[in-house]
Amino acid sequence: MALNMDIATESKFDRKKLFLPQIIRKHIKFSQFDPTNWVENGYIDIEVGGKTKRIGITRLHMEEDAGKSTHKDGYSLVDLNRQGYTINRDCV
């Protein structure tokens, strides 16, 4: 509502099979993408220098955070702090 977006009446999630060290537990990642974004075609108005500017937002979709791998100096680190959490992605 705050982003003036059209809310979908139905939603669909896809299960991606991945073999990455970040998702050791289940080797799958849930993601939501076209054509069933849960909200789309929105905007937000902001004040810049005393003038109102409108920023369009194409869509918002959800996906599961897989964690993060960092590769440096011949070794790799895997950060699982956010693994499994739902994150929202926006496309402006």
The DSSP secondary structure of 26-56, one letter per residue, reads: TSEEEE--TT--SEEEEEEEEEETTEEEEEE
Is residue 33 included in any domain, yes or no? yes
Residue 34 located in a structural domain: yes
Q: What pLDDT, on the 0 to 100 scale, is given for residue 33?
A: 59
Count up the domains in the chain and report the number: 1
Question: Is residue 1 in a domain?
Answer: no
In terms of residue numbers, what domain contains 69? 6-91
Residue 44 counted as domain residue: yes
Query: Which residues of the chain, if any, have pLDDT below 70?
Result: 1, 12-37, 61-67, 79-92
In a domain, 16, yes or no: yes
Q: Can you count the helices (H) and strands (E) in the chain? A: 0, 8
Tell me how far apart the alpha carbons of residues 77 and 11 are, in angstroms, rounded to a whole number: 35
Q: What pTM was estimated for this model as a whole? A: 0.49
Q: What is the pLDDT of residue 34?
A: 59
Task: Provide the CB-side half-sphere exposure for 69 (13 A, CA).
Answer: 10
